Amino acid sequence: MSAPTSNCPNCGAPVTFRWSSAIQTTCEFCHSILIRTDLDLKKVGEVADLPADASPIQIGTEGVLDNKGFVVIGRIIYEYEQGGWNEWHIVFNDNSNAWLSDAELEYDVSWLAPQHQIPVIGRGSECILANRAYTVTSITKAHYKGVQGELPFEYWDKSDVAFADLRTPTGEFATIDYSEKTPLLFLGRSVEFDDLHFKNLRLFEGWTS
């Protein structure tokens, strides 16, 4: 993977992209949110201090899914009244990307489903997506708490975002993200920690991974 390097327009620190298709990143040093333009990097904002989190995953964590290696290159952090979760942006060794969500250490992986009809849903309702029957398990109003690293789109000026999670009896997972004018549908499945064969995880006092 190419690693084009630029400099942070705010503090001059080197900014390295792990993924050629990244649109946005954050400066590791001054926490500026940087948008890639044709010519250079543009600062659009600054990340406030990230909330303390206890995800074992971090930028640079590697893993394997469906026999393809991936690396974690960015994340979006959400909070809601019952807790919070991370949407880790992962890039596979074939340059494709996906989202690995970690909610209270329950892991789901999902991919953006392009141009999919968004069903009208309510709590507990059922719908058919990609020929499978899904049940709506939760509708969450979350606060966008911050971003880190490389993302496939600009994502820095959000406040409250609504999500709906849908699941099947066999572990398929779907989430509808209502943050855009046209809601986005992500399709995927729940994954077991052990099945992801992680490397470069965070270490916790008193524990071995």
Binding site for other proteins (CB under 8 A): 1, 3, 16, 18, 28, 51-54, 56, 58-62, 69, 71, 81-83, 93, 104-106, 108, 123-124, 133, 135, 137-139, 167-171, 173, 190, 193-194, 200-207, 209
> Cβ of residue 147: shortest distance to other proteins, in angstroms?
15
Residue (115 or 206) nearer to other proteins, CB? 206
193: DSSP letter? G
Smallest distance, other proteins to C-beta of residue 28, A: 7
CA distances, 8 to each of 111, 137, 147 (Å): 30, 42, 16
Looking at the Cβ atoms of 185 and 191, the one nearer to other proteins is: 191
Query: CB 44 → other proteins: shortest distance, Å?
Result: 21
Q: How far is the CB of 131 from other proteins (least distance, A)?
A: 15
Nearer to other proteins, 38 or 98 (CB): 98
Smallest distance from other proteins to CB 74, Å: 11
Name, in order, each residue with C-beta under 8 angstroms of 2's C-beta and a sequence gap of 6 or more.
17, 20
Residue 195 CA to residue 209 CA, distance in Å, equals: 14
118: DSSP letter = P
Shortest Å distance, C-beta 66 to other proteins: 18
Beta bridge partners of 100: 88, 109
Query: By three-state DSSP, how is residue 195 classified?
Result: helix
Nearer to other proteins, 36 or 84 (CB): 84
Burial profile 57-76: b = 16 or more Cβ within 10 angstroms, e = fewer = bbbebbbebeeeebbbbbbb
Q: Which is nearer to other proteins, 129 or 180 (CB)?
A: 129
Evaluate whether 104 touches 83 at the Cβ level (below 8 Å). yes
Query: What six digits make up the tokens of 196?
Result: 């992801």
Bridge partners (DSSP) listed for residue 148: 75
Is residue 34 a contact partner of residue 22, using CB atoms and an 8 Å limit? Answer: no
Nearer to other proteins, 21 or 200 (CB): 200
